Structure 1
Amino acid sequence: MTNENTTHFGFKQVPKEEKVALVRDVFDSVANSYDLMNDLMSLGIHRIWKRVAVQLSNVRSGESVLDLAGGTGDLTRLFEKRVGKQGSVVLADINSEMLRTGRNRLIDHGLIGNVHYAQVNAECLPFKDNTFDCVCIGFGLRNVTDKDAALRSMYRVLKPGGRVIVLEFSHPIDPVTEKVYDFYSFNLLPKIGAIVAKDENSYRYLAESIRMHPKQDDLKRMMEAAGLERCDYYNMTQGIVAVHRGYKL
């Protein structure tokens, strides 16, 4: 059981003040192999998940987007295509190695001018109130120590009419998928991490962090408690991943 001074790091209980550093170590380790591992882990399906999330964001030309936990920039690239040169996208991540990898990758793809970068903590975003038309966090909320604080911070920096998009590994909606997914996550995924990324422990943590993430309806209630309205979610791949959406009205 957790108490007010501890939180989960995978299946372990750790002091809250230590989690940020522990998560940073994980992503420092996997930054260079992150994209390859995403393709291997999901058989490339993560690209479809991300495109669905961006489509559900309803982002339009000229709008401003905050891509939280943006990592190597996949979602930023998709958002940049939608906002065009009149809009802007901020690629933000708490991890400097992931942010550096994403920045280099996007520059290599010629994305300059309307893409900006910020190293931030999602729990206390350093932006003014009512700044962004859309705030998206893709596969990052489960790593945040205080998810409620992060959702409140995301709500604060949204413009009225803006929307929060949470793309995250979630919980399978049928027992057969759950059993297969558990076997894959705890038996195969760490071994793939050991071979490709030379880091079995980090990928074991990632599997554990997914299991500790709130279920779909619980996360929906958390978003509503943060002030977001018209909250809903869309299961993909039998609930292995879900896209949550909420509005600031």
Structure 2
Amino acid sequence: MTEERTTASGGMETAFGFRRVEEAEKQPLVNDVFHRVAERYDLMNDLMSAGLHRTWKDAMVSWLAPPRRPGFKTLDVAGGTGDIALRIVEASGRQAQVTVLDINDSMLTVGRERAEKRGLADNLAFIEANAEDLPFPESTFDAYTIAFGIRNVPHIDTALAEAYRVLRPGGRFLCLEFSDVNTPFLDKAYETWSFQAIPRIGRMVTGDGEPYRYLVESIRKFPNQQNFAAMMRHAGFSRVTWRDYSGGIAALHSGWKI
């Protein structure tokens, strides 16, 4: 692919995949993608990660290590289907309280249904809102998590500033995202899989390949590990680090509000 990744200085706000759009256009376009894939969201992640996203999400929650005591409050952003939130509640021995925030009501509907079926509705709150304008006072949460969502936020710097604001001093930010493959030969194989296979499979399975094309293009545009870490530091986070998974197909970034 000839498209270059955006850098720590920005660029995702006008990138809808490889298309350049007006800033005001991007959020409605992204919303439409997720309305179209909401009921097949887990399948989408299975296609895009060959099923590995489940292992990466388990690793994310393991690194968070939610305490098995009442009072631990997590905000899970762009987590409408509850995939991360349900893991956090279970890992805490059903002690944690997780607020699931998503801009897309179709995704939230899936999450509410899953929480009810698992008997965890009392531990979860589902809120429709924008990651760039969180409806919470500052210093509200012990942790902020976001998995495979931040690359779809038009103004990533604004979302990071909001994450920092709503975390309590000593609070932790964790972001799991598809990233820059840094393993020889795997990078070319993954790129071929992403751009040639995933949209075709998506079309065969769901009848609509275009949302999958956008999603793989958005992965290719997202800042690499070093640049995203720089964005986190600029937002105020300390002790910023990351772990690569599967040769950099995904990366899990961690930072603290100190």
TM-score (norm 1): 0.95
Unaligned runs of 5+ in 2: none
Are the equivalent residues in 1 in contact too, given 2:65–2:91 (CA < 8 A)?
Answer: no
Aligned mates of 2:229, 2:146 — CA distance in 1? 15
1:26 aligns with: 33
**Partner SS state of residue 244, structure 1:** strand
What is the match of residue 57 of structure 1? Answer: 64
Q: Which whole-Å CA distance do the structure 1 matches of 2:50 and 2:179 have between them?
A: 17
Give the Cα separation in 2 of the matches to 1:220 and 1:88: 28
- In structure 2, relative to structure 1, the CA distance for the partners of 1:179 and 1:156 (3 Å cut) is same
Instruction: Quickly say closer, same or farther: Cα 1:54–1:4, change in 2 above 3 A.
Output: closer
Select between 205-214 and 103-112 the one with higher mean Cα deviation.
103-112
Deviations 1:28-87 (A, max 9, x none): 001111112322332321110001111112321331011101031110111111334543
Equivalence map 1:44-123=2 (5 Å): 44-61=51-68, 62=70, 63-123=72-132
Please give the alpha-carbon distance, in whole angstroms, between the structure 2 residues aligned to 1:4 and 1:204. Answer: 19
Aligned twin of 2:241: 232
Q: Partners of 2:55 and 2:94 in 1: how far apart?
A: 24
- 1:185-227 CA distance string (max 9 Å, x none): 0000000110112111110000000001000000000000000
Residues 150-172 of structure 1, C-alpha deviation per residue, up to 9 Å, x if partnerless? 00000000011110000000010
Q: Distance in 1 between matches of 2:46 and 2:24?
A: 32
Q: Does the Cα contact within 8 Å between 2:13 and 2:26 map onto a contact in 1? A: no
Post-superposition, which runs of at least 4 consecutive aligned residues in structure 1 deviate over 4 A?
A: 1-6
Question: What is the percentage of aligned positions where both structures have the same residue?
Answer: 45
Q: Per the alignment, do residues 89 and 6 of structure 1 end up closer, same or farther by CA in structure 2, a change over 3 Å counting?
A: closer
Give SS of 2:244's match.
strand
Contact 1:166 1:244 in 2 (8 A): yes
Which runs of 5 or more residues in structure 1 are unaligned?
Answer: none
User: SS of the counterpart of 1:153?
Assistant: helix
CA shift, 1:6, in A, is: 6.2
**Higher relative CO (CA 8 A, sep ≥ 6), structure 1 or 2?**
2
- Give the whole-Å Cα distance in 2 for the aligned partners of 1:70 and 1:4: 23
Aligned partners of 1:90 and 1:117 also within 8 Å: yes
Match of 2:176 in 1: 167
- Selected match of 1:134 from 140, 143, 146: 143
User: In the TM superposition, what is the alpha-carbon distance from 1:120 to its structure 2 partner?
Assistant: 1.3
Q: Which moved more, 1:65-74 or 1:202-211?
A: 65-74
Matched ranges for 1:154-233 at <5 A: 154-233=163-242
Distance 1:108 1:85 in 2: 15
Could you say what secondary structure the match of 1:124 adopts?
A: coil
Cα separation, 2, equivalents of 1:38 and 1:206: 10
Partner in structure 2 of residue 247 of structure 1 = 256
Match for 1:41: what amino acid?
M
What do residues 67-124 of structure 1 show as CA deviations (whole Å, max 9, x unaligned)?
Answer: 1010311101111113345430011111110111111111111112121111111111
TM-score norm. by structure 2 comes to 0.92
